[in-house]
Structure 1
């Protein structure tokens, strides 16, 4: 037999206070003496009373739920980012509803509607779908490393400086034929600035800038085929700056498959520097994004939008990058 769940009136009776006082304690409304507050908490513990989050959210006009839309947590970058964002949300008393869109625009739109129906307080978006621009105006929104619209703040690393640093590092190591692997230029993302930084340094040194575009939505086999095609097209290539660590690792794999050596024949630099990659593939030289700081900023800016909607926000919050040296350069 299941026990009947205790009600607020039962807690009030056990604590010797009114139901209104119990409600005020749970919702942290109005002045309540510490003695009375403790009586209520003790009664709740004794009766094993669990507050109804839905009822409290209706009372406070806050659900304390945050939506997080990512392409896929299977990618080490988004997996770590999700963990960091969830950590900072938990510190702020917020729960996270995670949505893996798998690069599917229709699925993203479905998730957005689901989040809206669940009355989340705000959303952090890490996907490219510009179709979300209109719906994002319905609630506080922060974009992570993607431009959605002028009214939505973007959290990013200093992509331009990252592109400059990667190119300069390869040139200083003796590379003359450096290829940058990036996504399609038409995708309006801060990551395009990595290309701009790379090209500026190449021009400064009088070297040809070669950017090899690959689609962002690739299966494992498609990505490997794209990298293989790059080596066929650029046999003289002696340096590669990949737009993320996953692509950089596939480049290293292809170098070795062709019986060449890293870094003697081809030097490789990635971008992201996730904890997973640094622990499991320490030989990869990469541009590290400050994941913890960026996740914390995303949560802070979203909370600011929720609690102070009238306060002006910056269009973009840019964080410094750093070079993490392995032995791939």
Structure 2
């Protein structure tokens, strides 16, 4: 039945238009008998509520934009996206994914699109490509902006960060506790992004604190978190270390771990018998063969905290910035060999941690 309007439903049900609005939006008190009568009229007349018209009037769309990279290699972003979706649904909000490809102009256009779609908030879970001007325009429209794992220094922006420094310390100290000294590191290039800097710095700090120098031959930094880069990085470490190969390696992304394990398999090196491995992010470690110990991130908490920060801005009118730091934790899957108990790396009897 085309062009059914709210007044038609009200006439059919014998109630006011305000009552129809309360039933459609599920807000305000309506007697159960009346509610059922209205819903029956809606069904008979095949009435479709005009959500956009309602949104224009109330300036509430229930949409939160999520800017993230179109990355098929790194499941970190999909884990965050699911966490945000689940947290938002609890408050009747929908997450609008907005994919970019490390393109500043594209990301600026995405922000303009979010404004045109009347997004009530913007959450970034990627390296920020947008210009400060574009982000300022969003903030000037009183749209909350939240950064996940990206500590942008800008007034009006809330942040959900992870203590990656401590996460890497915990992983490195696990190796040291089990008697490892020749500990390699595979991570991402240390540009201006504090995530990568903190993951490497935690590794370095733990070594130096325990009197172990960082061996540059055992350190490889790649341009991106991909399986191919993980393969090539482990290949570099094994080949250039000569006879004094590492007994362990901290790998700052589970995606890199997958590639590193493939090289070790091709080189007929076993985990943990020949080299112990700890990954980071806990996205793929349980799927690896063997399963890999990983620095796990509290994904559910990341999403819930980000949505809470949004709600504080949007619905409680909080007017000061907040930064919440969450703690990673080490999830042990037995991929670290205890050198204190083993009789040698070539021994058939191994002890796993």
- TM-score, normalising length from structure 2? 0.83
Cα distance in 2 for partners of 1:219, 1:35 equals 59
Residue in structure 1 matched with residue 188 of structure 2 by the alignment: 183
CA contact (8 A) 2:279 2:285 kept: no
1:1-329 aligned within 5 A = 3-27=1-25, 35-72=33-70, 74=72, 75-137=74-136, 138=138, 139-151=143-155, 152-210=157-215, 211-216=219-224, 220-235=227-242, 236-274=245-283, 277-279=285-287, 283-314=291-322, 316-329=323-336
Offset at residue 108 of structure 1 (A): 2.1
Task: Output one character per residue of 1:66-104: Cα deviation in whole Å (capped at 9) or x when no partner.
Answer: 111112352222122212211222221112211222333
Compared CA separation, residues 143 and 72, structure 1 to 2 (3 A): same
Cα distance in 1 for partners of 2:81, 2:270 equals 35
Offset at residue 212 of structure 1 (A): 2.8
Compared CA separation, residues 164 and 48, structure 1 to 2 (3 A): same
CA contact (8 A) 1:69 1:123 kept: yes
Q: How many residues align?
A: 324
- TM-score, normalising length from structure 1? 0.88
Cα distance in 2 for partners of 1:187, 1:84 equals 27
Offset at residue 142 of structure 1 (A): 0.8
Offset at residue 260 of structure 1 (A): 1.5
Cα distance in 2 for partners of 1:239, 1:263 equals 8
CA contact (8 A) 2:67 2:97 kept: yes
Compared CA separation, residues 255 and 233, structure 1 to 2 (3 A): same
Task: Output one character per residue of 1:190-230: Cα deviation in whole Å (capped at 9) or x when no partner.
Answer: 342222222211011111125432112x6654553344233
Cα distance in 2 for partners of 1:128, 1:85 equals 18
Residue in structure 1 matched with residue 347 of structure 2 by the alignment: none
Compared CA separation, residues 224 and 132, structure 1 to 2 (3 A): farther
Compared CA separation, residues 219 and 176, structure 1 to 2 (3 A): closer
> SS of the counterpart of 2:194?
coil
Of stretches 255-264 and 26-35 in structure 1, the one that deviates more from structure 2 is 26-35
Compared CA separation, residues 171 and 116, structure 1 to 2 (3 A): same
Cα distance in 1 for partners of 2:127, 2:193 equals 8
Higher Rg of the two aligned structures: 2
Root mean square deviation, CA, Å: 2.4
